[in-house]
Each structure stands twice: as C-alpha cells, then as structure tokens.
Amino acid sequence: MTSLRAVKGMNDVLPEEMPRWHFVERTYAETMRRHGYREVRTPYVEPTGLFVRTVGETTDIVEKEMYSFVYQGEELTLRPEGTAGAARAYVEHSVHGREGISRWYYVGPMFRGERPQRGRYRQFYQLGAEIFGDAGPGCDAEMIDMLVGFLRELGIGDAEVLVNSIGGSDTRERFKQALVQYLEPRKAKLTADSQRRLGTNPLRILDSKAEEDQAAIAEAPTVLEFLAPEDRAHFDKLEAFLKALGTPYRVEPRLVRGLDYYTRTLFEIKGAKAKLGAGDTLLGGGRYDNMVGDLGGGSVPALGFAAGLERLLIASEASPPPSAPPVYVAALGDAACSAALVLARDLRKSGLSAEGDARGGSLKSQLRRANTLGARFALVVGESELARGVVQAKDLGAHAQEEVSRDRVHEWITARMTSPEGSAS
Ligand code: ATP
Ligand code: MG
C-alpha cells in the first residue's frame, strides 16, 4: 500500500504547537472586541463566479491559484481569501438595511495552489476584518493603527507599514493609460505573463515578483501622480490621521497589491526579511468601495485587511502564558479505581484539569504518567485511604506529601497552586 500523507502545501498543526496559535487568536479576538468588531463565519466553499467577479478574472489568484471544481453541476471554489465571502454574506442578508456601519472579523483557512515554501502554503490561515458603511479616511487610519498595536502585542516589533492610494475608477483609468504608454515600448523586457496583461490588466504588472518585470517598472509613473482631487483629499486626510495617532508609516507609491477590488487606500505591513524571507508581507488590506455595489448590495463603501496567521507565528517573539498543569489521580487496587475516576471528575467540576487513572498499574508507572503529563499534583488513593476518606496528596514540584481529607483536596491544591513551586512546606 502506498503511504498516505498530507496534501502538498497543507500542514498539520499538532497539539504542542497550538498554545502559540491560541495566543495569536486570543490576542486578535480581544483586539477585535475592543474595536467593536463582531465575528462572522462564512462557508469555506463559494461559487467560483464570486471570486472571478471580485478578486478579478486576470489576477494570479483567479488565473492560477484556485481550487475549483464542479459538484453536481455547480462551479465551486475553496475560498482563496475572505473578503469576497464576507461581502456576499453582507449583501445576501441585507445587513445594510439593519445597520449603517458593520464591523466584522473572521479567522479561518484559505486555499491557494501556490508553490509551497516558508510562509507560503496551499492551505493557510488568515485573520481578517471588514468595515462596511464607513467611507471616511478616519477608519482607514484607525484600522492601520489597530494593526500596529496588535503586532506589538504579538511581540512583532520590527514591522514596516506601507500605505498608498490607487484612487477611484477615474484615477485608475488615467493611470492605466499612462502605464501602458510607458510599458508598450519596453514590452520585450517583460515576462510573458506581463506582456499578456499589458492588454488585459496592466496594473497587475506592478505587483509582479519577477525580476525582469521589476526592472522594467522601476522608473514607471506612479499612481499618486494621477490621483483625482477627491482621492487626493482622502489620502491627505488619511496621512493627517496617521500622524495624529503617531502611527509609523511610509508612503509607497508603487504598492498596488494583487487583487482587483481595491479602491483608494491600500496598505501592507511587512515583517523582518531575515525571518520571513520572500514571504515577508504579514498583512495587506485596503478599501473596496465598489464591491458591495457590484454584488448588488447598493452603494456601500468598505475597508478590510487580512493577515497570514502562519507568518505572524514565524515573526512573533512572544511566548504564550503557560496553562495550569493538570492534577493526576492515581489508584492502587481495584476498589480505588472507581474512587480515582470520581475524584478526578469532581476536581474538574471545580474548574481544574484532572486525569484519573483507572488502569490499575503500579504506583511507579502511574507517577511516570503524571510526570509526562506535566502534572504538578498527584493524588494517590489506595484501599486504606479509601476506607478513611483521605488521599495521599503529592506536590511533585515541591517534593512534598501530605495526607489530606477527601473533601479538602480542592482547597489544598488551590492554596499550593497560588504559592510558587517549591516554597510551600
Ligand atoms: P504575497 O504577496 O506574499 O503573495 P498576497 O498579496 O497574495 O501575499 P493577500 O492575498 O493580500 O496576500 O493575503 C493577505 C496575507 O495572507 C498575506 O500578507 C500573507 O500574510 C497571507 N498569505 C497570502 N498567501 C499566503 C500563502 N499562500 N500562505 C501563507 N500565507 C499567505
Ligand atoms: Mg500571493
């Protein structure tokens, strides 16, 4: 039989790695709560047409990276990103009719058929957020500032914030023309992909990671030179708010990002190259003022971002707080086995983590198990303890042992738990 392994580019996260994941997820949920976002969960599978319409037919994601399939006649895709599904749900449930401004967040897996490497996988996790219904640059600035604070809480200090504006449709049309005019005479120097995109989606060339393309666009005109007055005013206000908030940032006029749906504000936060290599973009986001309208939900401006959870974990220097070790209940003799199960159950009811061993092994083997569990306390119940309503309570950290009455065990443990290991007698 051939051995069955995980799908290429898709990773197992084993229990010992989970505390760091939980730390990031908890920190994120807490950040979201303080900023008034509520969690939304949308399906992992969406109609393929949703991504073609929003992310864009001629983007890398839609052209090359989607897991698409036909199931019972329906064209479906494993979601490559979270914004399109959130916007679809927002429109489908007429949320705008019920509340003027909605702040939503999500955490979950995304799927893209990319070449796997460090920080780049085929199933990866994103945490992201969307604001629907707020057109002003104030919420753009607030989101960027919030993300800087979030990264600091994760112990990611060396992050760099890049901002740009790609304007509305007027700005983009005029910029596209200028870009094509500039690149047309240099066409031969571009990659085949970019040559094709010169005719279909010239802005995507600016997001190319290929060296030939990078060289050809180094001196190309930048979108900021073409901003229409309203787009310019939005961008100026964004900068003023960022300055007022004291948020460190740099204007990067070449930033375009890889999705077609953005309008006006764009941003990206990069982490240390030394740690992250080529996948040094921790998160990206921006405005997408036309998406809700394009999906039939009327004119509702919107803003969002998404961060790669695995990349945050690579960059993070924070260690999660240790969780309380379990209490281990050992049983000596058949009759004590039931008592161990009952005692462990009662300790759990009062909030402790406990494991009762009813396998009936030797004390030595049971204490070995307590050790591998990382238990600080072991409670030993034998025939004589059972008869007298007591347990032998061991504080394994302090190498101390005491006979404790059955109904005082919880009290004994909590008293010792709050005193540092080894200090209690
Ligand atoms: P990159 O330029 O690194 O390809 P992107 O522009 O495709 O990123 P987005 O689509 O904006 O990124 O996704 C937002 C974030 O999700 C990225 O900044 C990154 O942290 C993470 N991300 C994107 N693709 C992957 C992937 N294949 N594996 C792991 N994380 C990813
Ligand atoms: Mg990408």
Compute, in angstroms, the gap from residue 295 CA to the centroid of ligand 1: 24
pLDDT at position 131 is: 98
pLDDT tens per residue across span 336-386: 999 999 999 999 999 999 999 999 899 999 999 999 999 999 999 999 999
Higher-confidence residue: 137 or 158?
A: 137
pLDDT at position 274 is: 87
Spatial strand order of the sheet with 327-331 comes to 354-356, 327-331, 377-381, 390-395, 400-405
> Is the shortest distance between the CB of 121 and ligand 1 below 6 Å?
yes
Averaged pLDDT for residues 302-322:
95
pLDDT tens per residue across span 94-103: 999 999 999 9
Percent of all residues in the chain with a pLDDT value above 90, rounded to a whole number: 88
Q: Which of 8-12, 27-31, 360-364, 407-411 has the lowest mean pLDDT?
A: 360-364
pLDDT at position 305 is: 98
pLDDT tens per residue across span 82-132: 999 999 999 999 999 999 999 999 999 999 999 999 999 999 999 999 999
Averaged pLDDT for residues 2-19:
95
pLDDT at position 425 is: 41
pLDDT at position 311 is: 97
The residue whose CA has the least distance to atom 30 of ligand 1 is: 308
Q: How far is CA 29 from CA 2, 35, 129, in A?
A: 42, 10, 11
pLDDT at position 322 is: 85
Compute, in angstroms, the gap from residue 155 CA to the centroid of ligand 1: 20
pLDDT at position 420 is: 64
Residues 302, 305, 310, CA angle at the centre, nearest 5°?
160
Strand partners, 129: 105, 305
pLDDT at position 374 is: 93
Q: Quick one: CA torsion of 96, 97, 100, 102, rounded to 10 degrees?
A: -40
> Are 190 and 202 in contact, with CB atoms under 8 Å apart?
no
pLDDT at residue 424 above 50?
Answer: no
pLDDT at position 79 is: 98
Percent of all residues in the chain with a pLDDT value above 70, rounded to a whole number: 98
Instruction: Point out the ligand 1 atom lying closest to the alpha carbon of residue 81.
Output: 10
137-153 and 18-34 helices cross at what angle (nearest 10)?
150
pLDDT confidence tier of residue 257, bands split at 50, 70 and 90: confident
Tokens standing for residue 217: 């666009």
pLDDT at position 207 is: 87
Measured CA to CA, the distance from residue 380 to residue 399 in angstroms comes to: 14
Q: What is the pTM of this model?
A: 0.93
> Is the shortest distance between the CB of 270 and ligand 1 below 6 Å?
no
Please report, as a single letter, which amino acid is at residue 248.
Answer: P
Compute, in angstroms, the gap from residue 281 CA to the centroid of ligand 1: 7
Compute, in angstroms, the gap from residue 376 CA to the centroid of ligand 1: 42
Instruction: Point out the ligand 1 atom lying closest to the alpha carbon of residue 268.
Output: 18
Please report, as a single letter, which amino acid is at residue 95.
Answer: V
Instruction: Point out the ligand 1 atom lying closest to the alpha carbon of residue 121.
Output: 28
pLDDT at position 42 is: 98
Q: How far is CA 399 from CA 177, 355, 372, 403, in A?
A: 77, 20, 16, 14
pLDDT at residue 1 above 90?
Answer: no
pLDDT tens per residue across span 211-252: 999 999 999 999 999 999 999 999 999 999 999 999 999 999
pLDDT at position 157 is: 84
Q: Exposed, middle or buried: residue 104 (CB in 10 Å: 0-12, 13-18, 19+)? A: buried
pLDDT at position 31 is: 98
Measured CA to CA, the distance from residue 164 to residue 266 in angstroms comes to: 5
Averaged pLDDT for residues 14-32:
97
229-245 and 137-153 helices cross at what angle (nearest 10)?
40
Averaged pLDDT for residues 302-328:
94
Contact partners, residue 383, CB within 8 Å, separation at least 6: 332, 333, 335, 336
pLDDT at position 360 is: 86
Measured CA to CA, the distance from residue 291 to residue 314 in angstroms comes to: 32
> Is the shortest distance between the CB of 65 and ligand 1 below 6 Å?
no
Averaged pLDDT for residues 274-294:
94
Q: Which of 205-209, 266-270, 325-329 has the lowest mean pLDDT?
A: 205-209
> Are 258 and 60 in contact, with CB atoms under 8 Å apart?
yes
pLDDT at position 337 is: 95
The mean predicted confidence, pLDDT, of the chain is 94
pLDDT at residue 185 above 90?
Answer: yes
pLDDT at residue 189 above 90?
Answer: yes
